[in-house]
């Protein structure tokens, strides 16, 4: 799933995607920071369509979450 989302994005933004999943027609994308989330919001419609086509499913909406990466000890 993460690979399909990354493939639908420009390379620089694709690297910020840390998770992705679909539940009841909603695609949830986790990114590594608020700046990336803001940039991704401009592309949600395009990502929704491209990921839906690549997976052969209907995606009704997209939710973007800021996911904190685990800190190293």
- Just give the CATH number of 2-66: 3.30.300
Can you give the pTM of this predicted structure?
0.89
Chain segment 20-71, per-residue pLDDT in tens: 999 999 999 999 999 999 999 999 999 999 999 999 999 999 999 998 765 5
Report the pLDDT value the prediction gives residue 68, as an integer from 0 to 100. 72
Q: What are phi and psi of 33, to 5 degrees?
A: 175, 160
Q: What are phi and psi of 62, to 5 degrees?
A: -130, 135
Instruction: Judge contact between 14 and 2, C-beta under 8 A.
Output: no
Beta strand spans in the chain (E): 17-23, 26-31, 61-66
């Amino acid at each position: 799933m993460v690979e399909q989302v990354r493939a639908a994005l420009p390379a620089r933004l694709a690297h910020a995607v840390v998770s992705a999943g679909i539940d009841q027609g909603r695609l949830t994308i986790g990114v590594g920071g608020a700046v990336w989330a803001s940039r991704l919001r401009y592309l949600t419609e395009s990502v929704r369509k491209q990921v839906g086509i690549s997976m052969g499913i209907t995606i009704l909406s997209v939710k973007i979450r800021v996911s904190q990466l685990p800190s190293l000890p």
